[in-house]
Amino acid sequence: MASETKTTTDHDEIRSWVEAHGGRPATAHGTGGDNAGVLSIEFSGVSGGARQKGLEIIGWDDWFDKFDEADLAFLYQEHQSDGSDSRFCRIIRR
């Protein structure tokens, strides 16, 4: 099975994929002031907690506001080349 990536800006598609893979919307701690800063996705149980990774969990509304404002897109992978589930994702410029 080939591993292929997909790119989307659709909020429902992003949220669905992230939540199905155990992720939560996050921002890099201390980068946003009163607004969301550098966006990220935090996956529970992967490499420690959000704080240890320098992330702050935020709500989807704030995450998507920043996502749209910064003209970003979400790159993700459903499966690895061996067919196993993948958590690979990146937030990229459109």
pLDDT, tens digit only, all 94 positions of the chain = 566 899 999 999 999 999 999 999 998 876 555 555 689 999 875 555 555 568 888 999 999 999 999 999 999 998 888 888 888 999 999 9
**CA gap 87, 5 in Å, rounded:** 11
42 is in which domain, residue-wise?
Answer: 5-93
- The pLDDT, as a whole number, for residue 3 is 67
Distance CA 63, CA 47 (A): 22
pTM: 0.82
Q: Which amino acid is at 73?
A: A
Domain tally, the chain? 1
